[in-house]
């Protein structure tokens, strides 16, 4: 069995580490933004009472329609953010483990990708079925992009030669090592 990871394993591992690093910022963004968007319209509403201009109410309502979201959406966004933060740590660990050769490392990376695909699928379905403003649409689009990346990485991982990581029958591993 090889001592160093194959090129495809190193590439997927590095991509997972990079995407996981970006994912941490995205998950923190999902945790912080509901607080901001729920607080901002109330602050604007409090300021609008200082001026009796009826146009202020129209502006506040339009802002809420464009960027705001319901309390259920805010709660689910926080839940998805917390789950995503935990899974992102496992995702990064899967990428790091893929850089070294061991059957357990390959399986860990595979299950980290599957878990993140599951989370992104549930998030996409939730965000797609709830009516939201531009913010919710942006979150859904990012989840869809992440879903495509993760499915692509999983396909590459599953279709690559697992004998590199010592997975497969003895015949496959032996033939692979003789060919090298």
**In terms of Cα–Cα distance, which of 13, 3, 4 is closest to 97?**
13
> For the chain, which residues make up each domain, given as ranges?
7-179
**pLDDT of 42:** 60
Residues (pLDDT < 50) of the chain are 175-176, 178-179
> Token pair of 14, please?
């590095």
Phi/psi-derived region of residue 137, left when phi > 0, alpha when psi is between -120 and 50, beta in every other case: alpha
CA–CA separation, 112 vs 19, rounded Å? 13
Rounding to the nearest 10 degrees, give the CA dihedral for residues 25, 116, 88, 92: -120
**pLDDT of 82:** 94
Give the model confidence (pLDDT) of 21-63 as tens digits.
999 999 998 888 877 766 665 655 555 555 666 666 666 666 6
CB 62 within 8 A of CB 133: no
CA–CA separation, 106 vs 129, rounded Å? 35
CB 18 within 8 A of CB 88: no
CA–CA separation, 13 vs 92, rounded Å? 8
**pLDDT of 81:** 92
């Amino acid at each position: 069995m090889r001592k160093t990871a194959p090129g495809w394993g190193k590439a997927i591992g590095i991509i997972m580490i990079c995407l996981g690093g970006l994912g941490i910022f995205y998950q923190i963004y999902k945790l912080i933004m509901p607080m901001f968007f729920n607080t901002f319209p109330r602050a604007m509403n409090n300021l609008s009472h200082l001026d009796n201009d009826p146009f202020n109410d129209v502006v506040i309502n339009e802002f809420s329609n464009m960027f705001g979201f319901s309390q259920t959406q805010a709660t689910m966004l926080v839940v998805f953010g917390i789950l995503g933060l935990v899974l992102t740590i496992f995702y990064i660990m899967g990428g790091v483990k893929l850089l070294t050769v061991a059957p357990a490392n390959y399986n860990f990376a595979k299950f980290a990708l599957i878990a993140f695909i599951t989370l992104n699928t549930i998030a996409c379905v939730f965000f797609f079925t709830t009516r939201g403003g531009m913010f919710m649409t942006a979150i859904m689009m990012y989840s869809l992009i992440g879903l495509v990346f993760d499915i692509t990485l999983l396909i590459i991982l599953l279709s690559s030669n697992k004998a590199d990581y010592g997975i497969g029958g003895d015949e496959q591993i032996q033939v692979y090592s003789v060919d090298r």
